Structure 1
Amino acid sequence: MAYVVAVDGGTESLRAGVYDPSGACLGQASHPYGTEFAPGARAEQNPEDWWTALGIATKAALAKAGINPKAVEAICLTTTSCTVVALDAEGNALRPALLWMDVRAGAEAQAVLATGDAALASNGAGRGPVSAEWMIPKALWLKRHEPHIFDRATTIGEYQDFLTIRLTGRRVASLNNASIRWHYSTARSGFAASLVRALGMEDILDKWPPEVAAPGAVVGTLTASAAEHVGLHAGVKLVQGGADALIGMIGLGVAKPGQLALITGSSHLQFGVSDRAVHHPGLWGSYPDAVYPARHIIEGGQTSTGSILQWLRRLMGGTMDLDALNTAAARLEPGCDGLIVQDHFQGNRTPYVDPLSRGAIIGLTLAHGPEHIFRAIIEGISLGTRAILDEMAAAGFRSTELTVGGGATASELWLQIHADTSGLPVCVPASGAAPSVGAAVLAAHGAGHFGSIDEGIAAMVRPGRRIEPRPREAARYDEIYRSYRALYPALKDVAAQSTPRRAPETASRSPE
């Protein structure tokens, strides 16, 4: 029997799983790492923590699977996207990574949009959005504010690229990451050379990995030292993966035009598959060939979703009983006795693309308890998803169901509220964690078990349950949704004026 290893490097931990070609997960393990937050919506991680976590989690997953590591044929990585690293010639980090949710580069994002370059056509037909989260704004921030780091860097890439270099010694970017966050396009000449020249940072073209490989392509084999670190052998193939949420589409079986995926976790991402290009203000994409050959991906996203519940847990001293809160919240009526939450705790990704927007809880009274706030957060996040689906419909993309993966699938309440607020049936595959399953499909495809990603999906992704929207609750949420949409214009100026002024820039510490 042959096996593959799927790795999912997330926001809070790295998870590794051992799969067989039927899609069965034989063993999995995870290892956590921390994030440093700072004023100005900054968030950083130490890349060495990812490398440590990869070794610990992979070895533990192999031990749980109880297999001979020599039977593993391939490994595939999926990681957070636009988590930007600056590396020296040996692949060591020159500073902490700018995590995907770090939006310090707001001014740089505006500078990118102001160029009017043709590469921006995939973002609202050139009218935006351009997010402060993305590669080019973050790289431009480094060049402007930490030129000593930018100039020293041999490689400016992503979380995925750091692990690729560590595992194989090769500098190869993922077509998936580059398409969705670097303005790379297979429909053009690749990297956005004219865009970076217009920004005065054409030297980054020599710092980005010189090769780009599509999901499912073989990048190389593990070096002897890397194989020892993860408990495998040097003949194991590294198969190209990509952004955790996009690879999660594969794990959900969302591959046909018209299908729609909702990836949940610390953030929410909405991805539709189209057989044509779709460009619309307030949406990202569409991206040709980013996941599947000859198909386009249209994207929406919410920066803070599950992370808001983690914030609530911290406020409650870490004592939040999720089961008890879910039970109590399920007894409440839609609207939580007058509470509405705006889910922009770390800015808004889409449809407003406003890094200065902030979260809000409206309608609090002394009669409200933790269960009201808990449910109102879930409702606010779900209504934020509906706002994005409405923008997709305005662009001409509509789906008849919502396929969901990630953390929200552990809560029947959350799934039901998503169905009720969107008015769409919610489907949850039985295959488990979508990014890991997607990485396993790619690894098996790269190892030669399947002739295409679609064949791998048919063999490895298992159908699950379906949650229908409830007419009475859906009608009530239609009313609440109108109030939710009124919050952003009402609070926009207040949030912008109350955002702390940027402190003087100081050199960031190097990772230990």
Structure 2
Amino acid sequence: MSDSQPIVLGLDVGTQSLRAALVDLSGKTLAYGVEPIETTYPRPAWAEQQPQDWWTAAKSATRKALASSGIDPSRVAAIGLDCTACTVVACTMDGEPLRPSLLWMDQRAHVEANEISATGDPVLKYVSGRVSPEWMLPKALWLKRNEPETFDRAERLVECTDWMMHRLTGEWTLSLNHLAVKWNYARPDGGWPLAMIAAVGLQDLPAKWPQTILPLGKPAGGLCARAAEELGLKPGTLVAQGGIDAYLGMLGLGATGDGDVALIVGSSTCHLAQTREGVFGSGAAGCCPDATVEGLYTIEAGQTATGSILDWYRRHFAAREQAEAEAKGVNVYSILDEKAAAVPPGSDGVVVREDWQGNRSPYKNPHARGAIVGLSLSHGPGHVFRALYEATAMGTRDILADCSRHGLSVERVFIGGGGAKSPLWLQIHADVLQKPIHLTREGESCALGSAMCAAVAAGIYKDFDEAAGAMVAIERVVEPDPKNAAVYDDLFAQYVDLYHRLNDEA
């Protein structure tokens, strides 16, 4: 590659860290910078982050990537951005936060979500009739009721993506991607659901939202001078309109064909599929028009906690494995995977429900909680850790089975995100789903998707399909082991039954 060829920068603001990826026009990552982001949990089912931490991480990660690559910042043609959703920020007009953000996984607004769902507004058809407590309207209503001074002072009530776009460009925009998926905004029905907003007493909320709405990947402006200086980039560098991390991850996996399903496996798992026809009535989070590509629907479902459960186990129960990993100079998850791989499929009778932070799909039950059952004195850490892996894969199977009953045809499954780094977790997914798993060359699909948005915004590629053809490469396919099908069919039945028993729905 020529030292003068343009490159693009993808900023991926995840739950646990921010990644800055310098990517060439063939989709190859030239350099990464990574910085951690801290989450606090003030009460059960609550989760918060400090917005300033995102920007601090962006500055450090971008400069790390530039320094390690030796790339001249003037070669960066455009910047793309993806963030968690729906992470709500209450701030002043100049972006000064008034309180910690309500992280996407925060479930405190479950009462408000039920009230909004109870309106029965026609727009709710796009979200299977129910609003999640993770979304904008419930969280805004919770703030208005429980922190009225903060709500009244807030000149902007926006998301992480909007706040970061403001830091990058100095301008306020809203992402159509976020609005269609998390804000109950539906273009086919006229846009904003103003009647529903007024019905729950939020008629003063739209005034706190920016007026400019941009589709994913459209040019949003140039990098402002202050941001350029702090990031180490050239002022005026084009910034593409950002969006939801998982949706950018879907683009980064190249899962854009009919029947393609993308699993973005990180702290949570997000399931995404594109379709020309709406798939309604399932337990999916939604079937959202114009969410990714204008003119298409994106079906979204998800598990609130997957990788975060593994991290929970590591932090609280893996001290011995951590010491062993440090002694060997390896990652602790490699030790945990070794122990889990030594356990047979089905974990010798240990069954887990992964609802540590509620159930997003297919039951939409924020009150659901995790469980580990079937333990005996013969079980050890390997059994529990493998059972956690199996539970997360079972959750995906439950979601896809539900969507399939409502018309979705699953042909190919792609996996990206941090979960794609574990060969054992990938094989368990293939065996549980009884489907091949397609893996791309670039493991950080969200960052690559952001880079693809930057390339499209800069006019390097005309659309996401062309960008995917140039920048996404399938590296290998993990085939399911047919010997494990019967074991996992039986475990799946136990897994589903356990949900109903725990939630008094037997």
1:509 is aligned to: none
| CA distance in 2 between partners of 1:260 and 1:469 (Å) | 16
| CA distance in 1 between partners of 2:491 and 2:30 (Å) | 44
- SS of match in other structure, 1:113: helix
Q: Which deviations, in whole Å up to 9, do the C-alpha atoms of 1:166-197 show, x marking residues without a partner?
A: 11121101111111000111212222211111
Paired residues for 1:304-343 under 5 Å? 304-316=305-317, 318=319, 319-320=321-322, 321-343=332-354
1:228 deviates by 0.5
- SS of match in other structure, 2:44: coil
Q: Which deviations, in whole Å up to 9, do the C-alpha atoms of 1:262-320 show, x marking residues without a partner?
A: 11010011111111111123112211111112211111100010111111111125544
Conservation of the 8 A alpha-carbon contact between 1:129 and 1:283: no
Partner of residue 453 from structure 1, selected from 464, 473, 477:
464
Partner of residue 384 from structure 2, selected from 356, 367, 373:
373
1:225 is aligned to: 226
Amino acid at match of 2:29: C
2:122 is aligned to: 118
1:111 deviates by 0.7
Conservation of the 8 A alpha-carbon contact between 1:129 and 1:281: no
1:95 is aligned to: 99
> Does 2:491 align with 1:491?
no
Conservation of the 8 A alpha-carbon contact between 1:442 and 1:453: yes
| CA distance in 1 between partners of 2:43 and 2:501 (Å) | 24
- SS of match in other structure, 2:501: helix
| CA distance in 1 between partners of 2:8 and 2:486 (Å) | 46
1:129 deviates by 2.7
Amino acid at match of 2:359: N
1:462 deviates by 1.1
2:238 is aligned to: 237
2:71 is aligned to: 67
2:325 is aligned to: none
Conservation of the 8 A alpha-carbon contact between 2:259 and 2:412: no
Give TM-score scaled by structure 1 length: 0.94
- SS of match in other structure, 1:74: strand
1:33 deviates by 1.9
Paired residues for 1:375-390 under 5 Å? 375-390=386-401
Greater mean alpha carbon deviation, residues 76-85 or residues 165-174: 165-174
1:62 deviates by 1.2
| CA distance in 1 between partners of 2:142 and 2:408 (Å) | 34
- SS of match in other structure, 2:187: coil
Conservation of the 8 A alpha-carbon contact between 1:70 and 1:232: yes
Partner of residue 86 from structure 2, selected from 82, 86, 90:
82
Conservation of the 8 A alpha-carbon contact between 2:342 and 2:382: no
The runs of at least 4 consecutive aligned structure 1 residues that moved more than 2 Å come to 316-321
- SS of match in other structure, 1:428: strand
| CA distance in 1 between partners of 2:452 and 2:404 (Å) | 30
1:324 deviates by 2.3
Conservation of the 8 A alpha-carbon contact between 2:45 and 2:106: yes
Conservation of the 8 A alpha-carbon contact between 1:83 and 1:97: yes
Query: What runs of 5+ residues in structure 1 fail to find an aligned partner?
Result: 495-512
| CA distance in 2 between partners of 1:381 and 1:91 (Å) | 37
1:47 is aligned to: 51
1:401 deviates by 2.2
Paired residues for 1:90-239 under 5 Å? 90-124=94-128, 128-239=129-240
Q: Which deviations, in whole Å up to 9, do the C-alpha atoms of 1:39-69 show, x marking residues without a partner?
A: 2310000001111111111111111221111
1:445 deviates by 0.8
Amino acid at match of 2:309: I
Amino acid at match of 1:367: S
Greater mean alpha carbon deviation, residues 389-398 or residues 34-43: 34-43
2:358 is aligned to: 347
- SS of match in other structure, 1:341: strand
Q: Which deviations, in whole Å up to 9, do the C-alpha atoms of 1:327-351 show, x marking residues without a partner?
A: 2222221111110000000110011
Conservation of the 8 A alpha-carbon contact between 1:348 and 1:355: yes
Give TM-score scaled by structure 2 length: 0.95
Amino acid at match of 2:78: A
Aligned length: 491
2:291 is aligned to: 290
> Does 2:416 align with 1:405?
yes
Cα RMSD, aligned residues only: 1.2
1:467 deviates by 1.1
1:268 is aligned to: 269
| CA distance in 2 between partners of 1:238 and 1:137 (Å) | 30
| CA distance in 2 between partners of 1:443 and 1:131 (Å) | 30
Amino acid at match of 1:110: N
Conservation of the 8 A alpha-carbon contact between 1:44 and 1:96: yes
| CA distance in 1 between partners of 2:386 and 2:312 (Å) | 14
Conservation of the 8 A alpha-carbon contact between 1:255 and 1:292: no
2:326 is aligned to: none
Conservation of the 8 A alpha-carbon contact between 2:285 and 2:360: no
> Does 2:452 align with 1:441?
yes
Q: Which deviations, in whole Å up to 9, do the C-alpha atoms of 1:58-83 show, x marking residues without a partner?
A: 11111122111112111111000100
| CA distance in 2 between partners of 1:234 and 1:189 (Å) | 37
2:42 is aligned to: 38
| CA distance in 2 between partners of 1:463 and 1:426 (Å) | 11
Greater mean alpha carbon deviation, residues 319-328 or residues 74-83: 319-328
- SS of match in other structure, 2:62: helix
Amino acid at match of 2:232: G
Conservation of the 8 A alpha-carbon contact between 1:400 and 1:425: no
Query: What runs of 5+ residues in structure 2 fail to find an aligned partner?
Result: 323-331
1:98 deviates by 0.1
- SS of match in other structure, 1:287: strand
Percent identity for Structure 1 against Structure 2: 44
